[in-house]
Amino acid sequence: MTDAASAALVALAADAYVYGSALVADLTRVDTFRTRGIGSTPPTDFNRFGHSGGPTVAGAGVVPVNNDTVYSVALLDLSGGPLLLDVPDSGGAYYVLQFVDAWTNNFAYVGRRATGTAEQRLLLTPPHWHGTPPPGVGVMTCPTTVASIVGRYACDGPADLPRVRALQQRLALAPLEPGGVYAGLPQPDPGTPAELLFLERLRRWMAAFPPAAPDIEYQQRFAPLGLLDTGASPYPGAAAEWTAALAEGLAAGEDRVEQASRPPEDRPAGQPAGEWNANLHLFDYNLDQLGPGTLDDPRWRIADRRAAYLTRAVAARTGLWGNHAYEAAYASTVEDTEGGVLTGARSYTLRFDATPPVGAFWSVTVYDLPDLALVANPAGRYSVGDRTPGLVYGADGSLTLHLRHRPPADPAEAANWLPAPAGEFRPVIRMYQPGAEVLDGSYRLPGIRPR
- pLDDT beyond 80 at 67: no
- Residues 192-202 have pLDDT tens digits of 999 999 999 99
- Whole-number pLDDT of residue 41: 87
Q: In the chain, pLDDT over 90 holds for what percent of residues?
A: 84
Q: What is the mean pLDDT of residues 300-326?
A: 95
Quickly state the pLDDT bin for 122 (edges 50, 70, 90): very high
CA 74 – CA 49 distance, rounded (Å): 4
- Whole-number pLDDT of residue 380: 85
Which helix (DSSP H) or strand (DSSP E) does residue 93 occupy?
A: none
- Residues 71-94 have pLDDT tens digits of 999 999 999 999 999 999 999 999
- pLDDT beyond 90 at 371: no
The per-residue DSSP string of 184-214 comes to --PPPPTTS-GGGHHHHHHHHHHHHS---HH
CA 164 – CA 447 distance, rounded (Å): 34
- pLDDT beyond 80 at 373: no
Strand, coil or helix: 329: strand
Give the list of residues 6+ apart from residue 209 with CB closer than 8 angstroms, or none: 23, 27, 101, 102, 103, 144, 145, 146
Question: What is the identity of the amino acid at 321?
Answer: W
In the sheet that 69-77 helps form, which strands lie side by side, from edge to edge?
A: 49-51, 69-77, 146-154, 95-101, 106-111
The per-residue DSSP string of 20-68 comes to HHHHHHHHHHHHHHHHH-BTTBPP--TTSEEE-SSS--TT-S-SS--SS
Q: In the chain, pLDDT over 70 holds for what percent of residues?
A: 96
Distances (CA, A) of 68 to 71, 152, 224, 363, 366: 10, 9, 47, 7, 12
Quickly state the pLDDT bin for 273 (edges 50, 70, 90): confident
- Whole-number pLDDT of residue 267: 66
User: Angle 240-261/197-208 helices, nearest 10 degrees?
Assistant: 80
Domains defined for the chain, CATH in brackets = 3-23+187-261 (no CATH), 47-175 (2.60.40.1610), 298-450 (2.60.120.600)
Distances (CA, A) of 428 to 277, 337, 365, 366, 451: 9, 16, 5, 6, 20
DSSP state of 330: E
Distances (CA, A) of 211 to 142, 215, 235, 312, 355: 11, 6, 23, 14, 41
- Whole-number pLDDT of residue 148: 98
Q: What is the mean pLDDT of residues 338-344?
A: 94
- Whole-number pLDDT of residue 119: 97
- Whole-number pLDDT of residue 53: 78
Q: What is the mean pLDDT of residues 231-253?
A: 96
Distance in angstroms between the alpha carbons of the first and the last residue of the chain: 63
Average pLDDT, the chain: 93
Q: What is the mean pLDDT of residues 342-367?
A: 96
Distances (CA, A) of 290 to 93, 286, 346: 25, 7, 46
More confident residue, 269 or 397: 397
Measured over the CA atoms of residue 336, residue 63, residue 309 and residue 296, the dihedral's sign is negative
The number of residues making up the chain comes to: 451
Strand partners of residue 125:
141
What pTM was estimated for this model as a whole?
A: 0.93
- Whole-number pLDDT of residue 263: 74
CA 203 – CA 337 distance, rounded (Å): 48
CB atoms within 10 A of CB 435: 15
Answer yes or no: are the C-beta atoms of 104 and 320 closer than 8 Å.
yes
